[in-house]
Amino acid sequence: MYKLRLTYMKSKSSIYIPSIDICDVISKALIRIGAKLVYSKSRNVKPEIVNASTLPIGIESNGEICDVVIKEHIDVAYLVREINKTLPVGMIILGAQYVDMKEEINKRVYASTYEIELVYDDNMFYEMNKKQIEDIKEWYRSMFEEYLEESAILVLKKTPYRQERIDIKPDILEYTFLIDNRLRITVYTKKERNLNPEYIMSGYIEYINRDIKYNIKRVKILYK
Tens digit of pLDDT for each residue in 26-56? 999 999 999 999 998 877 889 999 999 889 8
For residues 173-201, average pLDDT: 94
Map out the domains of the chain as residue ranges: 2-103, 110-223
Whole-angstrom distance, CA of residue 171 vs CA of residue 193? 7
Q: For residues 187-224, b (16+ Cβ closer than 10 Å) or e, as one string? A: bbbbeeebbbbebbbbbbbebeeeeeebebbbebbbbe
User: Considering only CA atoms, which of 60, 17, 92, 13 is closest in space to residue 217?
Assistant: 60
Spatial contact of 99 and 5, defined as CB atoms under 8 Å apart? yes
The CATH number that domain 110-223 falls under is 3.30.70.100
Is the per-residue pLDDT at 136 higher than 80?
A: yes
pLDDT of residue 68: 97
Sign for the pseudo-dihedral over CA of 80, 86, 87, 88: positive
Total number of residues shown for the chain: 224
Nearest-5° angle of CA 87, CA 89, CA 92? 55
Please indicate whether the domains covering 2-103 and 110-223 agree at the CATH topology level. Answer: yes
In 3-state terms, what secondary structure has residue 154?
strand
CATH class given for the domain over 2-103: alpha beta
